[in-house]
């Protein structure tokens, strides 16, 4: 089919492609790049080797590890949620990766150390966003400026605009120079955290939590397993509402989750609603915050009527109670 010369050229091209892939997208390539950077005193853009095996960020910090230690005292507005998410993402970065943000803070008159302080961090991050708002009016371009610095962010915004695209994090990340991988991951984490802080609750606020997030003795299997959501004690037929605008990614039934819905809220945030008696939406459908999406039940692997509500950031489950204002939380000691 091909001449000998053409086959030789094709084979050579495939070899080059394999070498490039191994260099940039395998643990071995990452290890070699890190070692070479250390040996010659340069800086490597390779992800940590463990990032190839685990769901971790470029800075080696998983999304669940960035969740707040305690839930907020009151509901956040959009700017407060973004500031708190920025503070948490900064704390998760290595000292080298957070350097651009701290330098920018000092330049704009915000004490760099306050950004990492548990008590002052959210308000300091909010002042940083306010100082950048005129130059970077869109949230995602502003986050890029916070984590990567103003000059790289401005360049990325201008390049995206020249191509006629919307300056979202994905497009901006492609336009940043090499070496800003941790910055773009942290910006995405901050945006996901901010989105999680803005979620509503799927059932009435006073509903007791009968089984919280975390490891427990499974009530059916009798083994110690991670409970990846919270169980909310509601009667069969209780209305279940979307906690924010979303696209329905799954509306199906299985032997474990029963009748289950999964909603995609964008920005790496999804929520799941399990054990329902009735599903009222279909895959691909757009739903709005507060919209009736299901009626609770006792389907699947369940010991009694309840709703299992699950929150995931970057495909990793986190405790939804950490993002819910304390004044709204009701916890019951019994398990489901």
In this structure, the answer to whether residues 192 and 301 fall within a common structural domain is no
Give the end of a domain, one of 158, 173, 197.
197
Mean predicted confidence (pLDDT) in 44-61:
38
Domain-located, residue 247? yes
Domain-located, residue 131? yes
pLDDT digits (tens, 9 = 90+) for 231-252: 999 999 999 999 999 999 999 9
Asked if 231 and 301 touch (Cβ cutoff 8 Å), the reply is: no
In this structure, the answer to whether residues 36 and 65 fall within a common structural domain is no
Domain-located, residue 39? yes
The pLDDT value given to residue 215: 81
Mean predicted confidence (pLDDT) in 161-169:
91
Domain-located, residue 335? no
In this structure, the answer to whether residues 150 and 122 fall within a common structural domain is yes
In this structure, the answer to whether residues 38 and 61 fall within a common structural domain is no
Domain-located, residue 121? yes
CATH, residue 223:
2.70.70.10
pLDDT digits (tens, 9 = 90+) for 127-150: 999 999 999 999 999 999 999 999
Asked if 276 and 297 touch (Cβ cutoff 8 Å), the reply is: yes
Domain-located, residue 38? yes
CA distance 181 to 183: 5
Asked if 157 and 136 touch (Cβ cutoff 8 Å), the reply is: yes
Domain-located, residue 112? yes
In the numeric block, which tokens belong to residue 59? 């800075």
In this structure, the answer to whether residues 145 and 25 fall within a common structural domain is no
Q: Which domain holds residue 16?
A: 1-46
Domain-located, residue 336? no
In this structure, the answer to whether residues 134 and 215 fall within a common structural domain is no
183-222: b or e for each residue (b if 16 or more CB lie within 10 Å)?
A: bbbbbbbbbbbbbbbbbebbbeeebebbbbbeeeeeeeee
Tally of domains in the chain:
3
Give the pTM: 0.76
In the numeric block, which tokens belong to residue 213? 């997030």
Average pLDDT score over the chain:
83
Report residue 39: phi and psi, to 5°: -65, -40
In this structure, the answer to whether residues 299 and 232 fall within a common structural domain is yes
In this structure, the answer to whether residues 33 and 135 fall within a common structural domain is no
Nearest to 186 by CA among 98, 80, 271: 98
């Amino acid at each position: 089919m091909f001449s000998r010369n053409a086959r030789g050229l094709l084979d050579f091209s495939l070899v080059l492609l394999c070498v490039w892939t191994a260099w940039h997208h395998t643990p071995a390539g990452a290890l070699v790049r890190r070692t070479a950077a250390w040996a010659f005193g340069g800086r490597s853009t390779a992800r940590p080797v463990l990032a190839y095996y685990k769901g971790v960020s470029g800075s080696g910090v998983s999304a669940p590890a960035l969740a707040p230690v305690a839930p907020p005292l009151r509901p956040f507005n959009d700017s407060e949620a973004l500031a708190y998410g920025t503070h948490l993402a900064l704390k998760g970065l290595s000292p080298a990766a957070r350097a651009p943000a701290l330098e920018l803070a000092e330049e704009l008159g915000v004490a760099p150390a306050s950004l990492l302080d548990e008590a002052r961090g959210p308000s300091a991050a909010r002042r940083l966003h306010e100082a950048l708002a005129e130059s970077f009016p869109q949230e995602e371009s502003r986050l890029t400026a916070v984590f990567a610095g103003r000059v790289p962010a401005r360049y990325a915004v201008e390049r995206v605009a020249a191509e006629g695209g919307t300056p979202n994090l994905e497009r901006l990340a492609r336009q940043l120079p090499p070496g800003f991988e941790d910055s773009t991951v942290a910006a995405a984490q901050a945006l996901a955290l901010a989105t999680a802080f803005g979620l509503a609750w799927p059932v009435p606020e006073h509903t007791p939590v009968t089984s919280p997030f975390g490891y427990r003795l499974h009530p059916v299997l009798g083994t110690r397993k991670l409970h990846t959501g919270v169980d909310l004690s509601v009667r069969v037929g209780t209305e279940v509402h979307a906690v924010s605008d979303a696209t329905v990614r799954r509306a199906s039934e299985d032997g474990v989750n029963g009748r289950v819905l999964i909603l995609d809220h964008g920005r790496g945030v999804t929520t799941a609603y399990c054990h329902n008696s009735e599903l009222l939406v279909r895959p691909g459908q757009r739903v709005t915050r507060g919209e009736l999406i299901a009626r609770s039940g006792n389907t699947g692997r369940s010991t009694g009527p309840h709703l299992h509500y699950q929150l995931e950031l970057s495909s990793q489950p986190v405790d939804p109670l950490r993002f819910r204002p304390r004044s709204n939380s009701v916890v019951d000691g019994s398990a489901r």
